[in-house]
Amino acid sequence: MTPEFIKIGSCTATASNIHQFDLHGKGKGTYKRFFLKIFNGTAAAPVANIKTSIATISLTAGKNTGNESILDKVTPTLLFMLELYHNSYKGLTANVAGELHIDPAMVLGLNAFDRRLYSLGTADLNTLTMDIQFGGTLTNVSRVELWAEYDPYDIQPLGAHIEIKKVSPAIATDATSLEITELPRFNAGVGICAYHIEQLNSSVVSSVEVKLNGKDRVWPDVPKSIMDRKLALSRRAPQSTWAHVDFSADDFSGSFLRGGMGELLVVPTFSTAPTAGGNLPIWVVSVKLPQGI
């Protein structure tokens, strides 16, 4: 069946407030995409103001076995970046004022058939919620509407799904290399798709090394120019102020399976070292397979 567009609800933006949208009350169908319409009065809120006025967005599924995080306090900055990173080859060259797009399968670059497998089925869920955490100061953001592309006739369980979460290793010194040991540990049912390194605190990444079990060099200090070229050939668009360690190509089969491999370390080298005393945000994109849930 053709998916429907449905309006989940709306809320007034209130500084430091969390608004929760209930997605489970719509039935047992499947969500394909979400769209946030963000207003400044009756006008579209500017992209720059959305990034500062909405602190985080979380998407959580509740099952009998516990909660499953899909988006773990992601930022609009990340979502705007991913939209361009995955869709520039389609002609999308800029984010749109007042529009924030959340696509559960976008980060995998899947074809139309496979996309269905990574949409959000609700047949086995007790709850499905989206939490909008507003920032302490609101600028040109007054109201938010949540819309969804939803198929009420495509009844399936949650199954395989993405998870995006952040780790923020502390920068102790102005070192030109940083071994990141804070990466989450996953079981055999989880595949790592990408690490997106947000180049904050004046940092500029020049190369990245990926080590397995502390010694096996999966990526032996790969220059960022080669990483970016690989991405361009995989229909990705590297974004400024970001370094993308992307193990996937055009489908899920390229993801780096984590289970049973022990410790996985990422070691970025900087041409401009990050400022000591801050943090280096790294967004981890993974896929949880049904047996890993």
In CATH, what number is assigned to the domain containing residue 180?
2.60.120.730
Could you tell me the pLDDT band of residue 290, with boundaries at 50, 70 and 90?
A: low
* pLDDT of amino acid 186: 65
* pLDDT of amino acid 63: 86
Residue 240: CB atoms within 10 A of its CB come to 6
Choosing from 107, 128, 159, the residue where a domain stops is 159
| 64 and 154 inside one domain | yes
pLDDT at 16 over 60: yes
| 153 and 174 inside one domain | no
* pTM recorded for the entire structure: 0.91
| 128 and 208 inside one domain | no
* CA-based nearest residue to 235, from 110, 119, 77, 117: 110
DSSP 8-state secondary structure symbol assigned to residue 54 = E
Which is more confident, 255 or 191?
191
* pLDDT of amino acid 128: 95
| 181 and 139 inside one domain | no
**How far is the C-alpha of 221 from the C-alpha of 203, rounded, in Å?**
17
Could you tell me the pLDDT band of residue 292, with boundaries at 50, 70 and 90?
A: very low
Could you tell me the pLDDT band of residue 90, with boundaries at 50, 70 and 90?
A: confident
| 120 and 212 inside one domain | no
Number of domains in the chain: 2
Q: For the purposes of burial, counting CB atoms within 10 Å of the CB of 111, is it exposed (0-12), middle (13-18) or buried (19 or more)?
A: exposed
46-61 pLDDT, tens digit per residue, is 999 999 999 999 999 9
| 122 and 245 inside one domain | no
| 265 and 231 inside one domain | yes
Mean pLDDT along residues 195-208: 87
> Domain of 191?
164-292
Choosing from 159, 192, 214, the residue where a domain stops is 159
Six token digits for residue 12: 């007034």
Give the dihedral of Cα atoms 210, 285, 251, 91; nearest 10 deg: -110
| 136 and 220 inside one domain | no
Q: Where do runs of H (alpha helix) occur along the chain?
A: 47-53, 76-87, 112-117, 224-233
Choosing from 159, 174, 206, the residue where a domain stops is 159
**How far is the C-alpha of 288 from the C-alpha of 293, rounded, in Å?**
7
| 140 and 183 inside one domain | no
* pLDDT of amino acid 109: 61
Cβ neighbours for 20, distance < 8 A, ≥ 6 positions apart: 129, 130, 131, 132
**How far is the C-alpha of 199 from the C-alpha of 69, rounded, in Å?**
25
Residue 242: CB atoms within 10 A of its CB come to 17
pLDDT at 283 over 90: yes
Residue 76: CB atoms within 10 A of its CB come to 21
| 136 and 168 inside one domain | no
| 25 and 60 inside one domain | yes
| 85 and 122 inside one domain | yes
